[in-house]
Amino acid sequence: MGRLTRRRRATRIVDGSASTRVETLAVEEPLEIRLGEAPFTLTMRSPGHDVELAHGLLRAEGVIASADDVAVARFCTETDLNVLEVHLRPGVTAPPVSATRSLAAYGGCGLCGSSTVATVADRPRPQAPPPARSRLDPEVVTRAAEQLRRDQRVFASTGGVHGAAAADVDGTLLVVREDIGRHNAVDKVLGHLLMQAAPPPPLLLVSSRASFEIVAKAAMSGVAVLACVSAPSSLAVEAAEELGVTLLAFVREDRLTVYSHPERIVGPGG
């Protein structure tokens, strides 16, 4: 899998008996994103789809509204793939460094330094999540979550990455991305859709807990339904309710729990 995995020898101990074996590990490397030549943020990520990651992150931060706001995104050199320069089109103003997030965003952290619902609500959004014109069947959501699990190739070989996917109303996965950081996986998915000028997906799936920053990213991109396989935080539920996102958690096999805006989900009896 190229830069995504590496092989290392390790000692495994089972019932007091030790054996040496070769393990497959998920690669983790830093990515510095610059706006022009000025540092914007540093994130630890799985290499690959870095331009998508930058687009998704800048959309979530309210820096850009569409892919047209980016004039060019390029690595600093052909050999250094860990520093990405993003040049905005004329008329799009980059935020001052003092107003940006913390410049170090590590694997479990997404919107450090701007972790309030009001901050996200005040950012310019191209559109809010749509009202419940067509409702999702819970079976569609759980089936899509199972398909995401099957499509996580790096997770299958390492157990060390998160996955995210956008899905259509019938549960068909539109794009799948994996990353060492769950927020990066979401940025890559939403950045891909932004670069394709695709409409907001009806369903965003994440193979992790439901945290505030994931809800914020979904809301900024106009996602209607966010489904996570693990538990939500209290702030995630509060943010989803206020920002208009239907939040589903504990999405596993034949069950899920609805925490906000249940009108988008088909209830018992249809």
- Residue-wise pLDDT for 181-201, tens only, equals 999 999 999 999 999 999 999
Query: DSSP labels for 141-182?
Result: HHHHHHHHHHH-HHHHHHS--EEEEEE-TT--EEEEEEESSH
pLDDT in tens, 25-48: 999 999 999 999 899 999 999 999
Cite the active site residues: 109
Q: What are phi and psi of 223, to 5 degrees?
A: -70, 135
Q: CA–CA separation, 254 vs 13, rounded Å?
A: 35
pLDDT band at 124 (very low <50, low <70, confident <90, very high): low
Residue 249 has pLDDT above 80, yes or no: yes
Confirm whether residue 254 is marked as ligand binding: yes
pLDDT category at 269 given cuts 50, 70, 90 is low
Domains of the chain from N-terminus onward:
29-121 (3.10.20.10), 138-264 (3.40.140.10)
Residue 252 annotated as binding site: yes
CB 190 within 8 A of CB 66: no
Instruction: Give the chain's mean pLDDT.
Output: 88
Q: Kindly tell me if the per-residue pLDDT of 113 is higher than 50.
A: no
The verdict on whether residue 251 carries a ligand-binding annotation is: yes
DSSP 92: P
Burial of 33 (0-12, 13-18, 19+ CB in 10 A): buried
pLDDT of residue 104: 44
Confidence label for 207 from pLDDT (cuts 50, 70 and 90): very high
